[in-house]
Chains A and B, each alone.
Chain A
Amino acid sequence: MQIRLIKPGLLTTIQDMGRRMYLSQAVSVSGAMDTLSARIANKVLGNNNNDAVIEFTYADAEFKADMDVLIAYAGDGATLIAASQKIPAERPLFIPKGTTVKLINRSLGCRTYLSVAGGWDVPEVLGSKSTFITAGFGGLAGRALKAGDTLNGAEQVSTITQKILDSLKGDGLSYTNWSLPSQLILPADRKTIRVIPAHEFNWFDSQAILDFLSTAYIIGSNSNRMGYHLEGAVLNRVKKDELLSTAVTPGTIQVTGNGGMILLMADCQTTGGYPRMAQVALVDLPLCAQLKPGDAIYFKEIGPREAEMLYLERELQLQRLTTAVNSKFL
């Protein structure tokens, strides 16, 4: 199975669930920003969660199927169309050889994930297929995809994947009538982000804490896979100590010297020296991954115990989705 990129779009990279084992050597986690959408795109094809997917940023991208392909997509950045027909998301799609597929704008979010039967075949670097652009390794030659790049699906596919392919294969484009809607998993309110107070939470004055938990913050234009600038009420400190650099992780909200906030995302550095206001709950990081410059968000405080419960529940929900797909083909 092979596709050829005709138009790459703003930033298109290969990602999986990230590279965790080299954090101590300052290698960023990387990986899909919206891990939920990436996993759904894999699950509907009977793939493993960690199989490599293509992450598109916004739309305005186009690819052609050089061979028959079994693919799926998920995420809020774009809708796929072929022969002027919209193709539905979050389900297996059989695309016959020669078909051109375009990504058209979908205003809801900004990132879309494209999976293929068996996952996209790129070499593993330091235990992951994710592209880490800063250091120039992983994915396809350590860089963003460009026009003319060809990508192949893995030769080995799971039994389930093979059965899905057999059920859809034919002369024309076809897809299943079932899907795994992320809507059923995500909260209805996608602009309220749940956070756990961070270690330096009490370094900030009461007005800062009140503002942080009650006023809107706008995603700044200077935002990318490393992190987002958040524009809004300036957060002043009561404790002016210098923080010694220590480990940070995607979802950490740092407060810079001028009282502005940075929300760290997938490609963030492994350590930081800014005091931290809060940590985004892992279950709400996929919501953050779909935020665009100009979007307004609110933060809601939860405790660490609740965050952990939400995470474990989410994982169980996702496991049930895998079981649901498998049960259709056993």
Chain B
Amino acid sequence: MHSADTPDQTLRIYYLSEEAVTIEFGQVIDLHLLDRVSVLNMLLHQQPFAGFCTAVPAYATLTVFFDPLSVSRSDLPGKTCFEKVSGFLQNSNRLTKGEVHNAGNVITIPVCYDKNLGPDLEEVARLHKLSIEEVIHLHSAAVYKAYMIGFVPGFAYLGGMDDQLTTPRKATPRKAVPAGSVGIAGAQTGVYPMQTPGGWQIIGRTPVKLFDAGRSQPSLLQAGDQVIFKPVNRAEFNELVGE
């Protein structure tokens, strides 16, 4: 049983600003809720309303941005933009009935789990009384789910890590974590798309660009995607960096 509502129930929608409303599907991190967010997001992009601008999926919410001028002039029923957009979203939600699963794309990310590129690899292993090889195996055997893109452009919060690797953040965050660093924070794992300060435990690095403003889809990962980490050695890493 899920605490969340089901598609045939009324959505909980709240006001975020004059140009945005948020649909709240629940208040927990849950694959079923993520599906609900993804499916409605997809449908909204396929069948948008006049004035629809963009939508931001998060763990259990979908926030819909719009142009108030266009919405207020549209013939959607309702006195205010909030009423017009909410009404439209309630109807869209009824259309999602039955279609409640969005597998997402499967993205494979090569990672070099190397002590130089993953300065916390040894500490994570020691903390959990595992060998470095076991840490690498556990981290690269799982299929992760991108719950949300946030923090900095292209950063995906990944769920699905093996419980044995759950590790608290570093007591003192680093002033600069290099781009591509693969880290662990609590039960989550993720990849730093660009050099930023950060407190995650760094266990490796990918040569792949998680975010590139020059690409038509700048963020490699989208909410709802499945992610697999594939171990590569240092020579392969260097070769991939060169590409």
Contact = CB atoms under 8 A, between A and B. Distances in A.
B226 interface: no
B65 A271 contact: no
Contacts of B55: 24
Interface in A281-311: 281-282, 304-305, 307-308, 311
B16 A24 contact: no
Interface string A115-152: 00000000001100000001111100000000000000
A281 B154 contact: no
B152 A24 contact: no
Nearest to B20: A249
Q: Is the interface of B mostly helix, strand, loop or mixed?
A: mixed
A21 interface: yes
A245 B24 CA distance: 12
Contacts of B150: 26, 245, 269-271
A225 B132 CA distance: 42
A286 to B, nearest CB: 14
Given A26-B154, A247-B58, A311-B18, A20 B80 contact: no
Nearest to A307: B18
Contact of A247 (B18, B53, B61, B154): B61
B20 to A, nearest CB: 6
Complex A-B, nearest 6 residue pairs according to Cβ-Cβ distance, in ascending order: A247-B63, A271-B150, A25-B219, A247-B56, A137-B213, A246-B61
A312 B218 contact: no
A22 interface: yes
A25 B69 CA distance: 25
B58 A136 contact: no
Residue among B22, B54, B148, B213 having the largest count of chain A Cβ atoms under 10 Å: B213
A279 interface: yes
A167 to B, nearest CB: 31
B223 A282 contact: no
8 contacts: A27-B153, A135-B153, A137-B213, A271-B148, A279-B16, A282-B19, A305-B80, A308-B72
Interface residues of B, number: 48
A20 B22 CA distance: 16
Residue among A22, A135, A246 having the largest count of chain B Cβ atoms under 10 Å: A246
Interface in B23-56: 24, 27-29, 53-56
Contacts of A199: 14-16, 22
Contact of A20 (B65, B149, B217): B65
Residue among B29, B56, B153 having the largest count of chain A Cβ atoms under 10 Å: B153
A305 B84 CA distance: 12
Given A25-B218, A305-B80, A308-B82, A244 B155 contact: no
A198 B17 CA distance: 9
A26 B152 contact: yes
Nearest to B62: A247
A282 to B, nearest CB: 5
A196 interface: yes
Interface in A147-173: none
Interface residues of A, number: 40
A324 B68 CA distance: 23
Nearest to B212: A137
B229 interface: no
A25 B149 contact: yes
Nearest to A197: B15
Residue among A21, A247, A251, A281 having the largest count of chain B Cβ atoms under 10 Å: A247
A23 B16 CA distance: 15
Interface in B170-204: 194, 196
B79 to A, nearest CB: 8
Contacts of A311: 18, 68
B113 interface: no
B169 to A, nearest CB: 14
A205 interface: no
A88 to B, nearest CB: 31
Given A20-B65, A126-B213, A135-B213, A26 B153 contact: yes
Nearest to A134: B152
Given A20-B54, A279-B16, A308-B80, A125 B213 contact: yes
B15 A196 contact: yes
Contacts of A271: 56, 58, 148, 150-151
A24 B17 contact: no
Contacts of A134: 152-153, 196
A289 to B, nearest CB: 16
A315 interface: yes
Contact of B18 (A125, A198, A282): A282
Nearest to A279: B17
Interface string A240-252: 0100111101011
